[in-house]
Amino acid sequence: MNRTFLGYARLARPANLPTAAADILAGVAIGGVFVGSMDAGFVGSSLFINIVYLVFSSVFLYAGGVILNDVFDFKLDQVERPERPIPSGVVPFNAAAMYGATTLVIGVLLAFLVSGTSGIVAVALALAILLYDGIAKKYDFFGPLSMGLCRGINLLLGMSILGNFDYGLWPLFQSYISLLSR
């Protein structure tokens, strides 16, 4: 197989991508879609198509995040991991940056195909990914917190299948607030 193609594929870490899809399916389930609390407008094949859009949105956002993670780590990887696609020269730095950015944008656009709410959540996720890749991962406390935020927003992306958070998110926040107030 072509060395350059494999370099681009390695940047996206395809073995990890199903974990992003799992977050979406969990979010959809938490949102109540599989237990019948969905709006009448989301029935049949349109529900399935919207779930597929959100799964691919999440996969593209995740892939964009790991690609840009390598872009942000380029100088460190030149020393510690010179065999990786960017420092080894298999994938040029600028091409990798464009690849990661394009992948993030595709993820956001796929979410907007479902609803404005899903699109906004995807934008928030893309920003959280950039926060992690560019800043937070360098800190012992903020790195894991930021990664958890990304996973949580990805779960919310699945919950956004409802078009709003009246069913799932508000009760979760109410429960969290009541625990904090004890």
- What are the pLDDT digits (tens) for 103-120? 999 999 999 999 999 999
Q: Domain range spanning residue 111?
A: 3-180
Residues of the chain with pLDDT under 70: 1, 33-45, 164-182
Amino acid identity for residue 75 in this structure: K
pLDDT digits (tens, 9 = 90+) for 143-172: 888 898 999 899 999 988 877 666 555 555
Which structure tokens are listed for 75? 């100088």
Domain at 7, CATH number: 1.10.357.140
pLDDT at 143: 87
What count of other Cβ atoms lies within 10 Å of the Cβ of residue 173? Answer: 11
Give residue 58's pLDDT: 97
Question: Cβ neighbours of residue 61 under 8 Å, at least 6 residues apart?
Answer: 20, 103, 104, 107, 108, 122, 125, 126, 129, 154
Q: Total domain count for the chain?
A: 1
pLDDT of residue 31: 76
Look up residue 107 and give its two tokens: 């993820």
Please answer whether residues 160 and 41 qualify as being in contact, where contact means their C-beta atoms are separated by less than 8 angstroms: no
Closest CA to 11 of 96, 127, 105: 96
pLDDT of residue 103: 98
